Amino acid sequence: MDYAATSPMSATALKAYCEVAERYYGNSASLHDLGGQANYFVEQARGVVANALKVKSDGIIFTGSGTEGNLLAILSLALASKKGKHIISSQAEHTSVHAALNTLEKMGFIVTKLPLKQNGCIQVEQIREVIRDDTALITIQHVNSEIGAIQPVDEIATIAKEADIFFHVDCVQSFCKVTFEQQVDAITVSAHKIAGPKGCGAVYINPKIRVAPLTPGLTHEHGLRGGTLDTPAIVAFATAIEDFHYKQQNYEAFRSYLQENLPKTCRMIECGKQLPNICGILMENVEGQYVLLRLNEAGICISTGSACDIRSESGTKAILSMGYTMGEARQFFRISFGQKTTFKEIDQLLVALTNI
């Protein structure tokens, strides 16, 4: 019940990983035939990622994670902009985004972090209001990993284009599940959220933008990221993309069933638009950490928010930004469904919650 944190590798992705690791183990940057074979598979995979994002493949850079992708995209775009040192984001972004913004603040950038409305979404007009002449970048996540809220990326992209501002979208939680139509300047994705391997992701940076390497002198991935590429993981990532099917109707049925049968002391957080497989829940007078521990004893895995924030004692960024109190934030826990979830498992969860 914690698929928003990660998912098991699919059988086909695992098979692809093992086959490439065993037979095509060359360094993709090497000039001999074994290196050429590895490079062929990397470039084929690059095309798969680009096709899924509806972008050009020469803008795809493979990374070690969604976190690395966010850091690379945000820092690169902010430093590449000629407009100034003002950035717009939200209070509910992933920890890696806040880390990148904190780094930029130390370099003299000013960051405006907008709250979420009660429906879990950013108020688009508020973005217009805070844009300045020196605004260099807008960075917003597509889907919040704590409550599943879907942000109005297309509307924000229109605003960014009108104002000639770079726009980065963190799509780690939304990739292959929900899309947007507008072209943006940078996108971050990750493999393990869609039944691919951990330790592999990608970032798209518009190749028309002149981005200086954060670490000059590197040769891999257009000089933007160093290190030998993990060819088996990259191929497994592409395989997972081709195999992944987001079961919207199944998850809507699971969500409705869970909501209808929750104990009376529990309430589910509803958003204007959200992924149905991510369910944020509050249990009255009980801390989310306690719920997590008790469910773990019953063999049920959940979370109290993003896995990257799990040791934080400040509750979750998303619901605090929505106006919930600190006490309510401490009651928060997250249930998230995946491809192998069943109604039987949800029944087991409901029994355990009722016992708590």
Which tens digit of pLDDT belongs to each residue from 19-29? 999 999 998 98
Q: What is the pLDDT of residue 341?
A: 96
Q: Among this protein's residues, is 176 annotated catalytic?
A: no
Which pLDDT belongs to residue 224? 87
Mean pLDDT of all residues in 294-322? 78
| 131 lies in the same domain as 178 | yes
* DSSP labels, 222-273: GGTS-S---HHHHHHHHHHHHH----HHHHHHHHHHHHHHS-TTEEE---SS
259 lies in the same domain as 143: no
The one catalytic residue among 18, 271, 301, 308: 308
Segment 52-71 shows an average pLDDT of 96
Q: What angle do CA 345, 350, 356 make, to 5 degrees?
A: 130
CA 179, 115, 64 angle in degrees (round to 5)? Answer: 50
How many structural domains comprise the chain? 2
Q: Is the pLDDT of residue 311 over 80?
A: no
Same structural domain for residues 228 and 272?
A: no
Q: Which of 36-40, 42-46, 127-131, 219-223 has the lowest mean pLDDT?
A: 219-223
119 and 144 share one domain: yes
The domain boundary, picked from 223, 243, 263, lies at 243
Residue 148 sits in the same domain as residue 24: yes
Whole-number pLDDT of residue 314: 45
* Predicted pLDDT of residue 307: 52
How high is the pLDDT of residue 223? 79
> Could you tell me if 44 and 84 lie in one domain?
yes
Instruction: Give the containing element (helix H, strand E) for 305.
Output: none
Residue 71: its pLDDT value, please?
97
Residues contacting residue 79 through CB under 8 Å, at least 6 positions apart: 211, 212, 214
Over residues 242-261, the pLDDT tens digits come to: 999 999 999 999 999 999 99
The predicted model gives 88-111 an average pLDDT of 96
Distance in angstroms (rounded) separating the CA atoms of residues 229 and 213:
17
**What is the percent of the chain with per-residue pLDDT over 90, rounded to a whole number?**
89
Same domain, 262 and 175: no
pLDDT band at 212 (very low <50, low <70, confident <90, very high): confident
Q: Domain containing 324 — which CATH number?
A: 3.90.1150.10
With contact defined as beta carbons under 8 Å apart, do 234 and 45 qualify?
Answer: yes
Sheet holding 332-336, edge to edge: 266-268, 278-283, 332-336
Q: Do 201 and 277 reside in the same domain of the chain?
A: no
Q: What is the span of the domain harbouring residue 254?
A: 248-355
Identify whether residues 311 and 257 lie together within a single domain: yes
Residue the block writes with tokens 């972090």? 113
d(CA 265, CA 244): 36
Same domain, 253 and 235: no
